[in-house]
Amino acid sequence: MAALIAENFRFLSLFFKSKDVMIFNGLVALGTVGSEELFSVVAFHCPCSPARNYIYGLAAIGVPALALFLIGVILNNHTWNVVAECHKRGTKNFSTAATFLLFGSIMGRAAVAPITWSVISLLRGEAYICALSEFVRPSSLDKFPSEFGAEVLARFPCKDVPANLTKFRDEVTRRLRYESQLFGWLLIGIVAVLVFLTKCLKHCCSPLSYRQEAYWAQYRSNEDKLFRRTAEVHSRILAAKNVKQFFGFVALDKEEKELVQEFPVEGVQPSPQWNAITGVYIYRENKGFPLYSRLHKWAKGVEGNGPTPEGHEMLFLAS
């Protein structure tokens, strides 16, 4: 099973260029596997009752997957960039292709954990056996006693059956586990093919060379790290300045005193500047020169968000 999980996430990792993103999604996948194992051991208890097994088994697979998907969407920065973009500028500057790629990126990344959960659930087979045991046709079982029906079949996952039905229980369990694992393998294959096709389509439609895309990803990663680090220092110095103005002094440690002395902060950036660097960014070129982010575009003093006649447009999928 460990080899299977490794292969699954090797395919899924094709979505991501950044090593940091790959590590993060690997941790998400491992956390999902651990959570599913814990859920199966501690929380999963098939009711072994007709009409309840089906609902409970499907809920055990589908509800956690849905919750993980929504959490993935919420934790994705692109989601809130889309919200900010729609609130501030609308979607008039998005082409159909860019919109498709944007939402595909958000959905694809959010799907890592739920797909992992679904695959592991199907490979284990417990939820599938619980859900479908009562629907096995007694006529498909050789010499199955005619006096027993769906009510007895529904108790098969709990092994609470008469002794003379033990061999039938083992056969039903084996048959359903085979089906469940087959669906798990098919899901892995479908995801692998979709990731491969998405990767090919992205490179075929990209106006950039592979090296320039790699440089773009590195630039965005470095810009984000430096922006976050600088914003933390800037906000700390500004807070120290305001606290000192209120109390007459501010209690700083040695490192913070050095920061205050080295980086004087006079004020805060006005809202128009924050709005200019916030939102979804589509790759643009200005007179043949690339603009790699909204911050880059603002720093160059380029106005507007629409593509220039000689410009190109491509959604940035890396974080």
Q: Tokens 């070129």 — which residue?
A: 285
pTM for this prediction: 0.70
Q: According to the model, what pLDDT value does residue 26 have?
A: 59
| Domain span at 250 | 211-300
Are residues 215 and 178 part of one domain?
no
Q: Report if residue 306 sits inside a domain.
A: no
What pairs with residue 285 in β-bridges?
Answer: 290
Average pLDDT per run of 10 along the chain, which is 319 residues long? 40 41 56 61 77 90 91 86 74 67 83 89 90 83 72 81 78 91 95 88 79 89 94 93 92 90 87 85 82 90 56 41
Q: Report if residue 229 sits inside a domain.
A: yes
What pairs with residue 282 in β-bridges?
Answer: 315
Are residues 268 and 200 part of one domain?
no
Decide if 105 contacts 78 (C-beta within 8 A): yes
Are residues 192 and 57 part of one domain?
yes
Q: According to the model, what pLDDT value does residue 315 have?
A: 45
C-alpha span between 101 and 85 (Å, rounded) = 16
Are residues 33 and 120 part of one domain?
yes
When divided into structural domains, the chain yields a total of 2
Are residues 255 and 168 part of one domain?
no
Are residues 216 and 196 part of one domain?
no
For 228-256, the three-class secondary structure string (H helix, E strand, C coil) is HHHHHHHHHHHHHHHHHHHHCCCCCCHHH
Q: Report if residue 264 sits inside a domain.
A: yes
Q: Report if residue 285 sits inside a domain.
A: yes
Are residues 101 and 247 part of one domain?
no
C-alpha span between 41 and 102 (Å, rounded) = 38
Are residues 215 and 197 part of one domain?
no
Q: According to the model, what pLDDT value does residue 77 have?
A: 80
Are residues 215 and 198 part of one domain?
no
Are residues 215 and 180 part of one domain?
no
Are residues 132 and 81 part of one domain?
yes
Are residues 79 and 46 part of one domain?
yes
